[in-house]
Structures are given as C-alpha cells and as structure tokens.
Structure 1
C-alpha cells in the first residue's frame, strides 16, 4: 500500500521528516518497507531561487548579450551575462545559482558553473521556462509577478515541492489503516496531533426529487448498508492536474474525472465507491441480491464470467447484474464519455461474501482488498458526500436527489472488558492508567464504564468503533495499547520471567527435523519444497477412488485441484524438470504433509519425510567410472536416519506399496516406519520420467513421537575385536534380516555387529538356493577373547542357523 506524505499532511499536521514518520509507523505495526522521493519535475528546481535584476547594460563585446547584476537575497549581487531580449532592470526572475543542475525540456541536463562569456564573468543564469523543464517556451526569460523575497526557492514559488511516498506492508489485521485517513488516525495517537476528516459541511442535496434511484436490499446479512446519490449535469473528461498528481503519487493511472474522484476517495478515506451510468439502470432501481447459479455477467475488463449462487450482485429492476458487489463493475453500466447522469454507490458489504467472490472469479481490486478485510460502515455517507463534492468541483456535477441510505441493521460499537492488572501482566511493565486512557481516546476507543472487581482492581468496559475490525477481545485492546505505547519502551529486566510455564515439547520437533536435514545434506542430498496441491488425474489413472482424495473447491488450475495423498508425484515432477535439463544425478529429500479423507468424511494430515535417488552415484572421472545409484545406497541413508532417531536396527518385510515395484517395509516396535524401493515403471511413464528412481517414505509423525536420544559415550575398548566369517546356503525366501535376528538372539554379549559382504546364486547351489557370506565381529570389554571362546560362539551360531533357517554351512 502506498501512502503520500504530502496527501497525509492535508489530514494531520505531521511536520516531521519522512524518515522519522516511517520509523514511528513501523514501530506501531504499519511496517514501512521503503520511502520513495517523488518530484513534480525532474531535479525539483534545486539550486534555483527568485531574484531581482538590479542593473542591465549591453555587453561590451557582444551586441545580443546583456551584462546584469542580480540580487538573489544573500546580500551579494551576482553578475550574470544574459542573452534574453526581455531582460531589464527591476524584473523579478528565476536564477540558477552556481552548482545547480538544470534539466531542460529538450536536451541533456547541464550544470551551472562560474564562467566567462566574451570576457565577462557570469555567476549563474537567468532562466527561461524550457531551460528548467517547466514548459517549452524559449521566447525569453520568465517574468515573475510576486512579492516573495529574493532568495525564495523557485520550487516554493511554483508549488513544486517534492513528495515522499511510503510503501507500507499492510498486514490483514490492520484494515483500519488501509487509507490515508487510517494512517493519519494512527499518527494522531503517535504524535498527539489533531486529525480531521475532509470538510463536507457544505454538501447540499435537495430534500425531495421527482425521480430518484430506488434501492432494495434482498440480502441484508451480506449487505448491511447501501447508500447512493444521483448526480446530474456530469461532464466526463480529464481530471485537473492536482487530482492526477495525487493518484500518480501512489501508482495509479488517471482515467477520467469521475473514476479518478472515486479512486481518490477510496485511497483517502478507505471507503470504496462505484459510479453507475444512471441512464443504464433499467427501471431506475437498484436491487442488491444473490446471483442465479450459472448466470452470465461481463465485467468492465470485457471478460464474460459465470456467476455462482453465492455471489452478491448489484442488479437493476429486471434483476440483471450491473456489478459484482464490492469487487468489479459491469461493462454495460459503467461511466463513459457520453455519461451525464451518475448514480454514486457507497456501501458496506460483509467481508466473507466479497472474499469468496474475489477468489472464485480471480478478481483482486483495490475495492475488494478493503471489503475483504472489513471497512467502516460509519464512513459510508461521509465518503459519498466527499465524492459528490469532488465531482461538483472537477466535473460540474449537481446532486439531483436526496441521498438514499438503506441501513436496516445498525452496526454498533463492540463492548470489550479491560482489566488494568491484565495490561501489566501481558505487557510485562506497568503503564499508568492515565496513559492508557489517553491512548484509548486517541484510538477512538471510548470508556463507557469504570468499575472495580472483587479484589479492588480497576476494570473498564470499552466501546470499540467498527473500523477497528480486529479488536474484539481484551488481548486485542492490550495489543493496541502496546503498539502506541511503544515496544521499545518496555524495558528488559535483568531476570526475565513468565507468569506461567508452558509445556514445551520434548523433544522439540523442529530441532529433530533440523538435525535430520543436516544428516541428509551431509550425505549429499539436497532438500526440496514442492506444492501441496497436485493433479487428481495422477490417481484416477492409478485406479484410486476419488472420494479418498481431498478436492480443492475453488482451484485455479486443473493441474492443481486436489491436496496430495502422497509426496511421490510432486518429487517426480522435480526430477523430470531436472532430467529434461540434463541434470540426471539427483539425491533429494523433502519434509512435507500428505492429506487424506476417510470413509466417514473426516480429513487428516500426515507428516512425511521422503527421499529420492536417481542417476549416477558421482560424476565420472578419469580415475574411475561412475556407477548407477542402487537400492542399497538409499536403504543405507534411510537406516542412518532411523539410527539417528533411536531406531538403529529396524526389522523388515517385503513392501506393499501401490507405486513401488519392489523393496522393503522397515518396522520399529512392530510399527511400519519406512517404505522404500524402486518406483514402478507405470508411474514413471505417467510422469514422463525417463530413468529409474529409488524412493523412500518415512512416517515422520511416528518417528518424532517415539524419538529416542540414544547418544551415549563410553571408554575406548582396551581389548581387540575379532572377526569370523561364515558362508551360509539358505532358501531364497530367507532374508539377511532373519539371519541377523537369529544371531542377535543367540549371542547378546560378545557379538558386536554382523555384515553381509557377498550374495551368490548359481546352479551349483541347487534350485531355489542362495549363499550369504557374513562377517561377525566379536569383542569382550573385560578380557582378550580366547580361541575356545570364539569357537564356542561360532558353533552356537551355526547350530541356530541350521535349526531356525535351514542353513547349510559351506566349509
């Protein structure tokens, strides 16, 4: 939102520099993101002053030049050579002093320097209007008629002072500040300066009229107040320069005097207005109603739109829509160059109604921006009269009928209880009741009752005006007080404390997530963030039931019309994008949510951690060729993640996943915590991914909930470890995980670890057989292992492998 300081100063005497005002606004919650300096003309006439020609004589060495002395108000007359035919003694002129930068109407800028012209010293320049960018005439120097003293800046004489424009990042809760008057009200509390509305006391409309535009509100909940005024003798044309300059200062392009006047009032008072061509209102009646489902309506931009039954429209006597209420006007009823009668609308619309229509039809306007957040119903007639007076000034308009103001359900102030001890408790510092009272008064919040509670503490009942849309609770009022009191005025105590102890999660999920992210990044994985919205066609083609998906009711694109039930497809889109740009070797991970709808219609969200592995393990070099990424590399990364979370040795079973063509499900505490394997060819083809992809999906909610901090420290072992190897022939159905569990159950004291370092299948082993080569690491922390102890352990292991897994030991 742009706010002009020059415009702001017409509403409040804020004479402080722009930077100081910007700091005050930022401190109160209206963050000033930047300040832009605007100049009416380039250079702002800096270095140019008014002067009087004291003497004028012919130049001794040039017939067309004059040698003058000029008083510029500093007590030292300047000698200036001038070539203008109309220069003469006693003339009031504009003088460019030495060092001034001039920006002529044509040509390049140039700087005034002390020089010699035909042998005579010249200490400045007497200016023509084209030489300083004020016009195109070069008939002679400007002759001024003014009593202003010499030395007065030329910018002051021409009224060309610069303007500062604040770029304010308006948060949704500050609808009350969405205008110049709203910001002026804020400064009133910050500067303790009086703030005033524009003068509308001289507005006059006839008490009766032979014909007027009638108004009927059919939906009073969506439109609590609607006011309008019929204007005649309107002459549509360009706006005067001052009005155009005001609009340009905040980034708006002038259109015509009628539209410009309504835009001016919107940005001045925060109340949107709309101007109808009164001759296009069939039946001379306005009806505010809900649209018919599927009804066609062409907006001012020439786009035909299909209305929804929830849309609120402004219609004529036939029920034909003329405007989408609070959002956009219609093409047929808009003001044109031929318009002479205007019906000016000023209304209050329920925010949710406007917000839904703006979202459904993808129309974001200055009007909808304010209506969506909440406007002030009390400003409706004020803005209407202000606009009427402007149109009287800039378009010759005359009020032809009394104001129509339909206000069936009055919107009053909100009553809020404020306990003064509560202020100190939430702020953390005592604020004197007199200061609180002063702040509330400056914010238009009235104290309607003053009481005491049972403990004798002060308790006030406040009356909050409707323009304070977001102030509905005691905490909101205290926030308002603190904004104006100043966060910087709340002192930091040597020992901070809180009035209550919150239950902090242990462990902190965010810390666990950051640690896991660092672990994966350290292994060469890159984090990605993808859209939670996806395409329902991915799942329809996969045969999934549509009722299990979570649809978006007002989606913008058919490609993003459901919430994702899995993160796989959005990650594959990232892989496709990179592979198509010849970035084929990818290690990716993402933390995110999936969304689900159960058979009973209830919705749920689940947090997931997913990993993707595709392409080569490393770039190819002259030293070695690069191998393709494998399942085991992905499994190793997953197991490291699980180990870091306190689950170092998960069990496994064959995966059953709709999108995986094989792999494992890892279990911790008999709970499936991870699924990993190769993405099926059908899914890759559907997503147009041209190379194999390994995928893992971890149940992040469960892992964080069951997280164990297993970091321990122990002394370095004093006695050496021993390795023994076995080669076991087993059925193909026997997994290494089964062998690992058998070994750990058999020897719990000396067995430190075991690892498979070779797997072999061949005809010489027999049908349905395979061989595992397994290493076993044994160690005793109290003594050196003897051969007898080692052999005893290995014999027990062999015996259990033979009995429980049907293994044959290859000797």
Structure 2
C-alpha cells in the first residue's frame, strides 16, 4: 500500500496518504488546527508538540491523525494487520506546509512537493490511479465513492506575453513558431493578441509561473541555455555614488573594531520609557511614543543610544560574560517641532577586565577611561580625522566624566565613564565606559585620502617639561598652545604624569609632566633649534596661563 502511494507521488507528482480506516473513530475526518502545545505521536514514534499554525487531519473526536501534507501519525498508520484503507489526496497552501515542515525538521517527500506548489486539479486523478493499483496489485475492493471537497476552484493563470519580451530576455530573437512549439509541449494553450503578442493559459501544475518573465524562463529552460550565443562584447553603465560612501564607511568601521576585539550588536530601536524616569538630559516631549500592542512595555523609540546599549551589556553580564566590548551602528529617534529626527551613531561599550586570563599580565586589572579613549583615537586615526578641539563634557548627566571632540559646535564624538546612578538603575554592578560617534560628522570630517609617510632618516629630539598650573586648566589647553608655537618640527606632545600636592604645589594647583618630540625630515636637528621652540612654549605658558615651569 505504501509503495503504491509513493509510486503515484513520483508518477503524477501528487502526494497521497493511506490511513488504517479501522483506527479512525466515528469514521469521520476533520481538517483543522489544534491548540498550541498539543502532543502528537508521529510515524517515527517520536512525540512532537504542535504549533497553533500547524494544519492537522483529525478524527471525529478532534484527535490528530496526521500533520497535513508533512507526516503521518503512528496510531492511524498502515500496518501488516490493516484490512481497510482510507485514502487521502489533497492540495495544501505551500507557505503553511513549508513553515510546518521546517518547524518540526520533517523534510519529507510530500512536504517538498507541497511547499513548491502542487497541482490542485490532479488530486482526484491521482486518487483513482492509486485505487486502481490497489485493486490490481493488492487484491483491493473499492467500497465507497470519492468524496471531493473543493470549495473554491483554482483556475489556470492567463498571461499576456509579448514577443519582444522574449527577445529582450533571451538576447536574441526566437522564432514565433519555436515559441509556440515549446509552449504547446508544456500543455499551455495559446491565443493570438495582435501581431506582437499572445495570451497563454498556464496549467495549474505550474504554480510558480504567474508572470511573463516566468514564462520566458520556462522557454529558456526548454530551448536550452547552451543554444543562446555568448556576446562578443559586454556593455555596462558607469554607476555613480557620492563620496564618501556611507555603506563603505560603516563596513570599514565594523571591520576595524572587530579586528580590535569588539563584537557588533544590534540593539532594539524600542525601549521602555521607565528607563528615562527622573533623567534630565532629554525632555519628555521629545519622546516618540508608539502603540505597541505586542509588547506594551516597549512604548517609545530610543531617544539616545546609551541605555539600549547598556541593556545589551546587562544581558551579557547576566550570562557570566563580564568582559564586554561591544559596538553598534544604529539610530536614535526624537520628536522635534512636530517632526521626527533620526540621528545615526557609532557607539562603543567597554566593561570588565582589560586582559584575558594569562600568566603574563595582571588579569584582574579592570578597563578604565583611558581604554575607551584609546579606541576612540584608534577610530579617528583609521578614518584620518584630525584637527579637532577637545572639551570636557558638560550638561550631560549620562557621564560621570569624559571628553568631547568637536569642530566648533559640531561634535564628532563624546566618551567617558557611564554615570553610576544610571548603571545602578540598569542593574549593572561594574563600571562601564561609553563612546558615541555622530555618523554625520564622521562622514563630514573623515579624510578623503590617508597619506602614508616614510619614517625620517634623521634622529628625533625630545624635551620634557614639568608645568604647574591651576586645576581649571586642562592638558588640552597646554597642547593647543604648544602647537601654536611651532607647526613644522613639533611632531608629538604627550602627557606622562599628573601630580597634585597642596603642601608642595599650593591650593588648587596641579603639575603636568609633558614630553615634546621634535623631528626634521630633511636634516639632523640642532639643540639651538629645539631650544628656540621650547623657549616660545614656556613663555606662552608663563604669560598666558600664569604657569610655573619647574626647572
């Protein structure tokens, strides 16, 4: 019996299923969906829990006999003791069968046919063919009439095909007689629509042929791709895209950060408004509220990037992944002047230990502010972003402390330590460091070309200074003033120590230890050249900042 149903499947392309009629209570069949989680014992003796979307063939009591179009049940299957057969031949929705088949990992022959679209008008013929074979080969006796439930007839598709469309897609002109011959060979009826086109009636066994381009594909398949000549020249159009290409920049940043040990994340654009209770940096009128009936707690679009990213950090911490390095390319959403503003950002998050477990380093040393700063500089360096101003963060309650790199009022990036109060409310137990690049400013300020310069053949010269200044003066102020003293020979300015001692330095004073590196690519520097520049720098410090040079 099973061999006959399989034979008809391969002969006519129509799956069949044979039930043991004596095992069907009340001799009644109902096709319906069962409740979510209903258990079903399949032919392979495994018990599966059904999805609410799975179509089932059930008995009169509502018990599942078969997962429709996919797999039979153990209780109603044909065995050596089966005497009476109930034979089923059906047509099912391709998408539903595909979802059920993949959901239960049942890639059966029947499912493979149904999910591609079976012929709805061959079901009765296949049923008769199987019954005939059972009479001939299995000494069967037909005891009932065919019950055919076909509420809405599926009719053949009519397609208007222009000959020029065939020529355009083939690349060469195919004779009309050849087109007609191929279509007739596929049992497609035709009628002329003027001199330049025909109407084609596609039989229902070709469920995927619904458009003129599908018809041309069928013509190509039968005609033979190998018969289509290969052109001797290739024509193409030159595509233009703006520079810099935003997608290319995103890919460049992703590859760069991934190479630095960061993992890319994709945070939800939706967030709970409760995370912004008692915050001061964003006015509630700027929130973009949504009517989310599926998850009512996710009631606003994220107005900024930090908190949604901290949720991802928390998700990792809750799964014992404490050493976190994440980045995201995403958008924030705000309501501004009866309109909506979307701003794209690149964000970085760091928490946990600086190094992985190793005997070579102090594995317990945590990441700090200078780690996030190092990666901010790494991104700027990779993009060739230079010549920006540096300011301490103000009026941003999200940060304990941090810096902003900007050009005038246009901010490129801000970074620093996440405010402890925010971390506590989010449930984080370790310090987290955050950087936020404005993608519009990245696109605007990145270098069109990154220049590579060979190392100088001549030695460089270094000078160190210990400068005592007021606590209100930052290293950025000293660095900017030194740059203005010389722009040709002064190559690097680095801060290597900060010393604070009210007894020795005085109240509200601090001491910076700064190194200055000089280099000339054309000659060896002389001490008098370097001393001249250093004297200008010290003079500026003393007279413009009231600094004291410790000699």
Distance 1:286 1:665 in 2: 72
Distance 2:245 2:26 in 1: 66
- Pairing 1:381–2:124 present: yes
Secondary structure of residue in 2 paired with 1:398? coil
Distance 2:267 2:372 in 1: 26
- 1:31-46 alignment to 2 at 5 Å? none
Distance 1:383 1:788 in 2: 100
- Residue aligning to 1:298: 40
Write the deviation string for residues 696-728 of structure 1: whole angstroms up to 9, x where unpaired. Answer: 666696577555423247899999987665444
Pick the aligned partner of 2:202 from 437, 455, 464: 464
Given that 1:299 and 1:328 are in contact with CA atoms closer than 8 Å, whether structure 2 keeps it comes out as: no
Q: Shift of residue 596 of structure 1?
A: 9.3
TM, length-normalised to structure 1? 0.48
Counterparts in 2 of 1:358 and 1:419: CA distance versus 1, 3 Å: same
Pick the aligned partner of 1:473 from 192, 206, 211: 211
Secondary structure of residue in 2 paired with 1:396? coil
- Residue aligning to 2:285: none
Distance 1:487 1:507 in 2: 41
Write the deviation string for residues 660-680 of structure 1: whole angstroms up to 9, x where unpaired. Answer: 997667667744657576999
Given that 1:723 and 1:775 are in contact with CA atoms closer than 8 Å, whether structure 2 keeps it comes out as: yes
Counterparts in 2 of 1:544 and 1:792: CA distance versus 1, 3 Å: closer
Pick the aligned partner of 1:496 from 209, 234, 245: 234
Pick the aligned partner of 2:499 from 760, 763, 787: 760
- Residue aligning to 2:14: 271
- Residue aligning to 1:710: 449
Counterparts in 2 of 1:315 and 1:757: CA distance versus 1, 3 Å: same
Q: Shift of residue 406 of structure 1?
A: 1.6
Secondary structure of residue in 1 paired with 2:124? helix
Q: Shift of residue 742 of structure 1?
A: 6.4
Given that 1:345 and 1:384 are in contact with CA atoms closer than 8 Å, whether structure 2 keeps it comes out as: yes
Given that 1:327 and 1:358 are in contact with CA atoms closer than 8 Å, whether structure 2 keeps it comes out as: yes
Distance 1:340 1:679 in 2: 77
Pick the aligned partner of 1:795 from 535, 539, 542: 539
Counterparts in 2 of 1:496 and 1:319: CA distance versus 1, 3 Å: same
- Structure with higher Rg: it is 1
TM, length-normalised to structure 2? 0.67
Secondary structure of residue in 2 paired with 1:462? strand
Secondary structure of residue in 1 paired with 2:49? strand
Given that 1:608 and 1:699 are in contact with CA atoms closer than 8 Å, whether structure 2 keeps it comes out as: yes
Counterparts in 2 of 1:399 and 1:278: CA distance versus 1, 3 Å: same
Write the deviation string for residues 116-138 of structure 1: whole angstroms up to 9, x where unpaired. Answer: xxxxxxxxxxxxxxxxxxxxxxx
Q: Shift of residue 359 of structure 1?
A: 5.9
- Residue aligning to 1:347: 90
Counterparts in 2 of 1:768 and 1:376: CA distance versus 1, 3 Å: farther
Q: Shift of residue 729 of structure 1?
A: 4.0
Q: Shift of residue 529 of structure 1?
A: 7.6
Secondary structure of residue in 1 paired with 2:495? strand
Distance 2:541 2:181 in 1: 85
Q: Shift of residue 380 of structure 1?
A: 2.0
Given that 1:673 and 1:702 are in contact with CA atoms closer than 8 Å, whether structure 2 keeps it comes out as: no
Distance 1:533 1:389 in 2: 61
Counterparts in 2 of 1:786 and 1:607: CA distance versus 1, 3 Å: closer
Distance 2:10 2:343 in 1: 42
- Pairing 1:641–2:393 present: no
- Residue aligning to 1:160: none
Given that 1:589 and 1:611 are in contact with CA atoms closer than 8 Å, whether structure 2 keeps it comes out as: yes
Given that 1:277 and 1:341 are in contact with CA atoms closer than 8 Å, whether structure 2 keeps it comes out as: yes
Distance 2:535 2:157 in 1: 86
- Residue aligning to 2:194: 451
- Residue aligning to 1:371: 114
Given that 1:608 and 1:698 are in contact with CA atoms closer than 8 Å, whether structure 2 keeps it comes out as: yes
Distance 1:381 1:330 in 2: 23
Distance 1:626 1:331 in 2: 58
Secondary structure of residue in 1 paired with 2:114? helix
Secondary structure of residue in 1 paired with 2:158? strand
Given that 2:25 and 2:59 are in contact with CA atoms closer than 8 Å, whether structure 1 keeps it comes out as: yes
Distance 1:510 1:755 in 2: 35
Given that 1:639 and 1:648 are in contact with CA atoms closer than 8 Å, whether structure 2 keeps it comes out as: no
- Pairing 1:334–2:77 present: yes
Given that 1:297 and 1:307 are in contact with CA atoms closer than 8 Å, whether structure 2 keeps it comes out as: no
- Residue aligning to 1:411: 154
Counterparts in 2 of 1:381 and 1:592: CA distance versus 1, 3 Å: farther
Given that 2:263 and 2:325 are in contact with CA atoms closer than 8 Å, whether structure 1 keeps it comes out as: yes
Given that 1:666 and 1:672 are in contact with CA atoms closer than 8 Å, whether structure 2 keeps it comes out as: yes
Counterparts in 2 of 1:390 and 1:418: CA distance versus 1, 3 Å: same
Write the deviation string for residues 448-492 of structure 1: whole angstroms up to 9, x where unpaired. Answer: 44435xxxxx33433333443333333333444444555555555
Given that 1:638 and 1:696 are in contact with CA atoms closer than 8 Å, whether structure 2 keeps it comes out as: no
Given that 1:746 and 1:797 are in contact with CA atoms closer than 8 Å, whether structure 2 keeps it comes out as: no
Secondary structure of residue in 2 paired with 1:377? coil
Given that 2:254 and 2:264 are in contact with CA atoms closer than 8 Å, whether structure 1 keeps it comes out as: no
Identify the range of structure 1 (280-289 vs 646-655) with the bigger mean alpha-carbon deviation: 646-655
Counterparts in 2 of 1:594 and 1:514: CA distance versus 1, 3 Å: closer
Q: Shift of residue 515 of structure 1?
A: 4.9
Distance 1:437 1:674 in 2: 69
Write the deviation string for residues 347-383 of structure 1: whole angstroms up to 9, x where unpaired. Answer: 1122233345456666654434443343221332233
Q: Shift of residue 288 of structure 1?
A: 2.7
Counterparts in 2 of 1:316 and 1:497: CA distance versus 1, 3 Å: same
Secondary structure of residue in 2 paired with 1:418? strand
Distance 2:363 2:131 in 1: 77
Secondary structure of residue in 2 paired with 1:403? coil
Distance 1:653 1:451 in 2: 77
- 1:601-616 alignment to 2 at 5 Å? 614=353, 616=355
- Residue aligning to 2:24: 281
Given that 1:722 and 1:779 are in contact with CA atoms closer than 8 Å, whether structure 2 keeps it comes out as: yes
Distance 1:404 1:450 in 2: 40
Distance 2:473 2:10 in 1: 76
Distance 1:270 1:377 in 2: 11
Distance 2:442 2:226 in 1: 38
Distance 1:463 1:338 in 2: 47
Q: Shift of residue 411 of structure 1?
A: 1.4
Given that 2:412 and 2:442 are in contact with CA atoms closer than 8 Å, whether structure 1 keeps it comes out as: no
Secondary structure of residue in 2 paired with 1:399? coil
Q: Unmatched 5+ residue regions in structure 2?
A: 278-288, 296-306
Q: Shift of residue 274 of structure 1?
A: 2.3
Q: Shift of residue 404 of structure 1?
A: 1.8
Q: Shift of residue 738 of structure 1?
A: 5.7
Number of matched pairs: 507
Q: Shift of residue 519 of structure 1?
A: 5.1
Write the deviation string for residues 749-777 of structure 1: whole angstroms up to 9, x where unpaired. Answer: 88655332323344544566543333456
Secondary structure of residue in 1 paired with 2:22? helix
